[in-house]
Copies of this chain bind each other. A is one copy, B any other.
């Protein structure tokens, strides 16, 4: 059995290497990649079936890399090992995981023990292992309670990219008014009014900009999500 490690940080990389050796005696080869681009290449060359991947990497982030890898070989098992459990990451991951694929999401703050367990469960038993904390987010975001619909999330991304209402309408195939309806929904859920209204005439916020910031502070958006969205936008613009 071969395992591919994709991780930015040299310290974390060697830690992972050790952890893999300890948890998986049946693993005879461990390969390392120091960023997403190299990771993709090595995965392709070695036809890797077992990958441990960091999410936040400078060169090419984990989600991008995982997407292309899964596109080529959907049965690949990937364990995401991340510092954060931002909703933006969780959403990003669950959007790209192929049907029935075994994968995992473990936080870097987890114990050695938990990491090893996750490694065995995913790579040997083909089970999904999602960190408790991450799991919580997932439920909330899929169940409607306090969570954001896909369409709400979509429009959030669109205004974050800086599109006008009209542009959004065109892009999503909606009328102007519908876009604005969704915006109102979004503002509602993000509680943009509350902080705005409390202080009569002056204290008002620019709802659109405020929504973006609140989303950031709540980790609904983060850098990598923006980056991906921006890339998609450019693609769309080029395709007329």
Contacts and interface: CB of A to CB of B under 8 A. Distances in A.
A212 B212 CA distance: 9
B203 A167 contact: yes
A129 interface: no
Contact of A237 (B160, B170, B199): B199
Nearest to A160: B213
Given A213-B161, A217-B226, A230-B213, A206 B208 contact: yes
Contact of A170 (B159, B202, B211): B202
A205 B158 CA distance: 11
A217 B230 contact: yes
Contact of A208 (B9, B11, B209): B209
A194 B202 CA distance: 33
Interface string A146-178: 000000000000011111101100100000000
Interface residues of A, number: 38
Contacts of A204: 164, 166-167
Interface string A205-229: 1111111111011000011001100
A237 B198 CA distance: 10
Q: Which 3 A-B pairs have the closest CB atoms?
A: A162-B210, A162-B209, A162-B205
Interface of A: 9, 11-12, 15, 83, 108, 159-164, 166-167, 170, 192, 199, 202-214, 216-217, 222-223, 226-227, 230, 237
Given A167-B205, A208-B209, 13 more contacts: A9-B83, A9-B108, A161-B209, A161-B210, A163-B209, A164-B206, A166-B202, A166-B204, A199-B237, A203-B237, A206-B208, A209-B212, A217-B227
